[in-house]
Amino acid sequence: MAVWDQLEVDQAHKAYAIVGVFSTIFCLLSLVLKERLFVGEAFLSCVTGIIVGPHALNLINPLEWTNSDYLTQEISRIVLIIQIFAVSVELPKKYMKVNVRSVVVLLLFTMILGWLVTGLFAWVLFPKFSFIDGLAITAAITATDPVLAAAIVGKGKFGERIPASLRHLLSAESGANDGLAFPFVLLAVDILTNRGKPGVIVRDWFCIAILYECVFGVILGIIIGYSGRKAIEFCENKKFIDRESLLIFYILLSLMCTGFGSILGVDDLLVSFAAGAAFAWDGWFFKKSHGQHISNSIDLLLNVGYFLYFGTIIPWQDFNNKELGLHWWRLVTLGLVIIFLRRIPAALLAKPFVPAIKTWKEALFVGHFGPVGVGGIFCSIITKDAIEKHLTQGEVPMREINSSAPYYMVLRCIWPIVCFIVVTSIVIHGFSVTAMVFYSKFQNYDFKESKSSSPTMVSSVEITDEDGNKALNEPTSNSNLHLRRVC
């Protein structure tokens, strides 16, 4: 037997190795990448996935493993419910009670107006779409992604520069609106599949989407979160639970939320958010876990793995598919519309009614930082799933779509369109942080030519610390520039 017969190279083993190598390199350079260059794991993981995926080196191809839609849906579900629960757990004590007006008003303005605006432009830009087709596709991108949003408002130097009230508002919104995207998706699907039946549309949407999936989902989440809080407080007081189990307890509750939520057919993302808010209601868990970063480490591993996976399944071949009417310039135009018109006008309109937004500059910031990511990918497959249930009694999502099937254009186009928007959001929103930080630093350097051209001209350098206190004001030689830096 040849020694090389011992090698067992298959797709799974190569995937483990690639994730391990990339994660190791990223962790070794994480401080430089995240705190100095302000480049997050989402962008770098996605680029790595593109390189090792079928469109470049072809080292791994998840599209060949199994039903790719089902696999992507379930991976997205796990990442989302853990991140959503984490977002709600990290909110201040009784945050949703104190700031319910700010959160609800911002959600209503940004989600409803953003959905209608992007749906309208999708209809205008893609000639094969009806207005309802456009609404069905853009319903998937009404949500702000908690995974990408965490890179902006989470822990780190950039997040610390954002006012706490604004940071918490963005976190709460990003967690809540992933769950609230479901009513938009189901309404669009109901209108699409029940045209001419307004009574059926209203009945199904209100009774099923609103009352059962959302309202009952919130009640279920509150029960899970409240029960979990009382249980962990009791066990901690009785010294039944160790430190490690306490720190990962919220992850276990989030899995419970998606398990029971999916079994009961309710909005499991909203269940997870409500459970997290109820679990952290009195601030006890935050105090106990403060300063511990095990959850952040788990989140990092999930994010790296997810976006590396996403990079391998991006449908680049459809980004200029003329048969579907997906010309590259149409996609780019829609991407620009989503970046500039999906949230910014709505946030500016909502500003007078949102107490947490103090200035127009803050409203602009809130409007801009609404990335589309894991939530959009998940909702796009949920949309396909809901439409396909009207076409088949078999397994959904379907592996292949017959070109003669009803709603073919929506089923065929929603995935490449949403993927293009996610790629655009990863690049634009990811590098917005980098651009803002470097622009801020550039603005804080004031270079002025000295009136004297003497090389021995003495000028002063004034450096202030983070609190604005003067740290240094000493003369330096060999300079004809006056340098003032504010750190």
Question: Does 276 score more than 90 pLDDT?
Answer: yes
| Angle CA 93–95–99, to nearest 5 | 155
How confident is the model at residue 452, as a pLDDT? Answer: 42
- Gap between the Cα atoms of 171 and 91, Å rounded: 8
Q: What is the CA radius of gyration of the chain?
A: 25
Query: What b/e string do you get for 452-463 counting C-beta neighbours within 10 Å, with b at 16 or more?
Result: eeeeebebeeee
How confident is the model at residue 486, as a pLDDT? Answer: 36
- Gap between the Cα atoms of 131 and 117, Å rounded: 11
High-pLDDT (> 70) share of the chain, %: 83
- The length of the chain, given as a count of residues: 487
Residue 16 lies in a domain: no
Query: What b/e string do you get for 184-201 counting C-beta neighbours within 10 Å, with b at 16 or more?
Result: bbbbbbbbbbbeeeeeeb
- Which among 413, 418, 355 is positioned nearest to 145, based on CA atoms? 418
Confidence of residue 399 (pLDDT cuts 50, 70, 90): low
Least confidently predicted of 201-210, 286-295, 303-312, 463-472: 463-472
How confident is the model at residue 420, as a pLDDT? Answer: 97
Split into its structural domains, the chain has a count of: 1
- Gap between the Cα atoms of 116 and 138, Å rounded: 8
Question: Does 46 score more than 50 pLDDT?
Answer: yes
**CATH number of the domain enclosing 292:** 1.20.1530.20
Q: Report the sign of the C-alpha dihedral through residues 87, 91, 94, 99, in that order.
A: negative
Question: Does 471 score more than 80 pLDDT?
Answer: no
> What are the tokens at 47?
């680029």
Q: What is the mean pLDDT of residues 288-310?
A: 80
- Gap between the Cα atoms of 238 and 11, Å rounded: 47
- Which among 143, 210, 217, 214 is positioned nearest to 173, based on CA atoms? 143
CA dihedral 69, 70, 76, 80 (to 10 degrees): 130
Cis amide bond preceding 163, omega within 30: no
The parent domain of residue 360 ranges over 68-395+407-443
- Which among 177, 136, 207 is positioned nearest to 269, based on CA atoms? 177
Residue 39 lies in a domain: no
Longest dimension (CA), the chain: 85
> What are the tokens at 39?
């480049």
Residue 349 lies in a domain: yes
Strand-strand pairing, 459-464 and 481-486: parallel
> What are the tokens at 101?
């007006």
Instruction: For the beta carbon of residue 291, count every other beta carbon within 10 angstroms.
Output: 6
Instruction: For the beta carbon of residue 16, count every other beta carbon within 10 angstroms.
Output: 11
- Gap between the Cα atoms of 296 and 292, Å rounded: 9
pLDDT mean across residues, the chain: 84
How confident is the model at residue 159, as a pLDDT? Answer: 63
> What are the tokens at 60?
């791994």
User: Residue 401 burial (CB < 10 Å; 0-12/13-18/19+)?
Assistant: middle
Question: Higher model confidence: residue 441 or residue 111?
Answer: 111
Question: Higher model confidence: residue 396 or residue 226?
Answer: 226
How confident is the model at residue 483, as a pLDDT? Answer: 37
Residue appearing with tokens 């992850």 = 251
Quick check: pTM over 0.75?
yes
Residue 389 lies in a domain: yes
User: Residue 243 burial (CB < 10 Å; 0-12/13-18/19+)?
Assistant: exposed
Confidence of residue 319 (pLDDT cuts 50, 70, 90): very high
Residue 460 lies in a domain: no
Residue 461 lies in a domain: no
Residue 458 lies in a domain: no
User: Residue 386 burial (CB < 10 Å; 0-12/13-18/19+)?
Assistant: buried
- Tens of pLDDT, residues 105-127: 999 999 999 999 999 999 999 99
Residue 22 lies in a domain: no
> What are the tokens at 210?
């609103």
SS3 110: helix
Is 84:261 a contact under the CB 8 Å cutoff? Answer: no
